[in-house]
Amino acid sequence: MPNYKLLTPGPLTTTDTVKKEMLFDHCTWDDDYKKITLEIRDKLLKLAHVEEPEYTVVLMQGSGTFGVESVLTSVIGGEDVLLIAANGAYGDRMEEIAKHAGLSYFIYHEEYSKVPSAQKIGEILKEHPEITHVSMVHSETTSGILNDIASVAKVVKGAGKTFIVDAMSSFGGVDIPVGELGIDFIISSANKCIQGVPGFSFIICRKDKLLESRGKARSLSLDLYDQWKTMDKDGKWRFTSPTHVVLAFAQALREMEAEGGIPARSRRYRENNRLLISKMEELGIRPYIGREHQGPIITTFYYPEHHNFSFQDMYQYIKDRGYAIYPGKVTDADTFRIGNIGEIYKEDIEKLCEIIKQFLEEEN
């Protein structure tokens, strides 16, 4: 099968050494295996710049959405009210989760090309003092916009509310001072900026808030507190753990350290992203998000003008030459997306833009 590199926001292209870890069938109750889980949890706390006992980490089977659903349905009790600030499909998904679970919630919709306003959130909190929790997405992968969680954190924490952040596509690729911002629950997954393979999500939790959630969960398998209670004892997962994925993730964390941690990785992603945008602009292809709020993870581009453009034709042309890109997801414009995270370097971006240039020339 001809191989290609993924320019998508996860799963993404991983190293051969990460993939090789999965050749071992580990025993789940073996001490060596449980130790790996404990080490992963320690390292994730460090990446978030927090420590025990204020914070702790829960690993949860399933994709990223399982992690978000686990938090929302475990920590928001029957008397609690959630405010969701949404400017993309992943914010909208939080509403879907809230609806399914029968949570009481308000939603503040912002345009997909704009960041949710901290001031607006402050006004909503004043208007509705019954709100107890606020949730939002950091890197909205729908558009590639990087939301201003720092300003929102100030308002939310100032009002004494619980702050929940979906940092799925940014954690590890953008440095987040979780403790300093006072984020209570921050969610990400194995297959994004840490560069592991899909199979579990992880949640960094403020411990007192996690303890308060005991007995509130609406789901058995997604019960955040119960998952933590079992895992915190000695690293044993509640229910079958995704052993191969865990081994691959442990290796991905070692490789991240070898690269130079979050500073080095976020620099590489940022440089990939800047190069991508400038090369695309040279081809007359414009980004959807303005410079000020464009994140370093994934970029939404308008379809090129003056061309009889077919995304499907371009996708196939690029795939035949070794890369897979992404269709657009914003609702108000014709766009496509290119991710620049994973084992992706400057050379890949240059090669990709050369392929796109050829495609546009041949189409003309």
Ligand X SMILES: *Cc1c(COP(=O)(O)O)cnc(C)c1O
Longest pairwise C-alpha distance within the chain = 63
Residue placing its CB nearer to ligand X in the complex, 89 or 159: 89
What residues does 188 pair with on adjacent strands? 202
Report in angstroms how near the CB of residue 34 gets to ligand X at its nearest: 25
- 284 vs 303: CA distance, rounded Å: 10
Residue placing its CB nearer to ligand X in the complex, 63 or 135: 63
Contact 147, 136 (CB under 8 A): yes
> Given the rule CB under 6 A, which of 60-68, 227-235, 284-292, 342-350 is the region that contacts ligand X?
60-68
Residue 251 engages ligand X in binding (rule: CB under 6 A) = no
Considering only residues 55, 90, 105, 323, which one is a binding residue for ligand X as defined by CB under 6 A? 90
- 234 vs 192: CA distance, rounded Å: 26
Give the per-residue contact string, 121-150, with ligand X (x = CB under 6 A; - = no): ----------------x---x---------
How are beta strands 200-206 and 185-189 bridged, if at all? antiparallel
Residue 166 engages ligand X in binding (rule: CB under 6 A) = yes
Residue placing its CB nearer to ligand X in the complex, 137 or 217: 137
- 234 vs 38: CA distance, rounded Å: 7
Contacts (CB under 6 A) with ligand X, residues 307-346: none
337 is in an annotated binding site: yes
Report in angstroms how near the CB of residue 104 gets to ligand X at its nearest: 22
Considering only residues 37, 65, 213, 266, which one is a binding residue for ligand X as defined by CB under 6 A? 65
Contacts (CB under 6 A) with ligand X, residues 186-205: 189
Query: Which distant-in-sequence residues (6+ apart) come within 8 Å of 203 by Cβ?
Result: 57, 58, 60, 67, 70, 71, 185, 186, 187, 224
- 47 vs 175: CA distance, rounded Å: 8
How are beta strands 335-339 and 298-302 bridged, if at all? antiparallel
Chain positions contacting ligand X, by CB under 6 A: 9-10, 63-65, 90, 137, 141, 166, 168-169, 189
- Could you list the residues known to form a binding site for substrate, using ranges: 337
